[in-house]
Amino acid sequence: MKILLTGAAGFIGSHVAEAYLAAGHEVVALDDLSTGSAANLPPGVRLHRVDIRRPRALDAVLRAEQPQIVNHHAADADVARITRSPRSGLAVNLLGTVCLLQSCVRRRVGKLVFVSSAAVYGDPRTLPVDEEHPLQPINTYGVSKAAGEMMVRVFAGTAGLRATILRYANVYGPRQVARAEGGVVAAFLDALDAGRAPLVAWDGEQTRDFVYVTDLARANLAALERGDGAAYNLGTGVPTSINALLEAVERASGRSLGARRAPRRAGDIRASYFDCRRATRELGWEATTSLDEGLRALVAWRRGQ
């Protein structure tokens, strides 16, 4: 089938593009290249350089390409920047999503796959976090993703657009940059490569769920034909402290410089990890890459660059 992939030139989007191509699908990329790079796109993917906040440009692309499915990865995921400038972040992540939804309905796209985030849950009340947990974001990025999910559900309910929502845990892997949401792995490796001790905020005992990017790409493949009308947590279901993460990064890189310590960051939560049983049950998906395995692959990729 033909898939229009927004944000295809970014870290995660480019891996999803590769998975779709490997499965025999036709992939068309839509990206304004504000954070992504055309060099990330695999061969055979046609790029439309378009800002998703521009309805006429979006309509023109969907009219010309007539995709059966739109996968929406395009977003501003720089949490610090969105916190400083909420209007800009909401314009991209919410208004841009609404513009895309309207174009999908006008051009009779069959299905939308919408990418969301663990940030929609905020500071979890219960662990592990399942999909029934209330959406209670505590930062602007989380608000933008939660509101985007709600708009997707509105269009699915009123315009008949099929939709699946994928909520990502902390993603890591090749092509990641440190400034994006969940970029702590890239930040640690950047510091070690530069001969600096990585910076660890708070006491480092806060936990997160780290999932390898190619595992997520497989979930996007499953969502093409499954999961209509539902949201899915995508992670490993394993909590890893930031201190333990740094130790794992040091093992994978063969470098150990200790850690620089910093105060707790505003809005930093103590613990979060996913219950992913719904994705296993309904999408036939589960993460299969261990943290050590994924970090070794990431280090090998960085050194190959």
* Active-site annotation holds for 168: no
Token pair of 239 as six digits: 């909590």
Is 9 in contact with 37 (CB distance < 8 Å)? yes
| Alpha carbons 56 and 47: distance in angstroms, whole number | 17
> Which residues lie across from 2 on neighbouring strands?
26
Residue of 20, 121, 141, 232 with catalytic role: 141
Beta-sheet pairing, 199-201 with 207-208: unpaired
**Secondary structure (3-state) at 61:** helix
Locate 70 and state its tokens. Answer: 């739109």
Phi/psi of residue 48, nearest 5 degrees: -105, 115
Pair of tokens at residue 74: 């395009």
Evaluate whether 233 touches 285 at the Cβ level (below 8 Å).
no
Residue 241, burial from CB neighbour count under 10 angstroms (0-12, 13-18, 19+): middle
Q: Active-site positions? A: 141
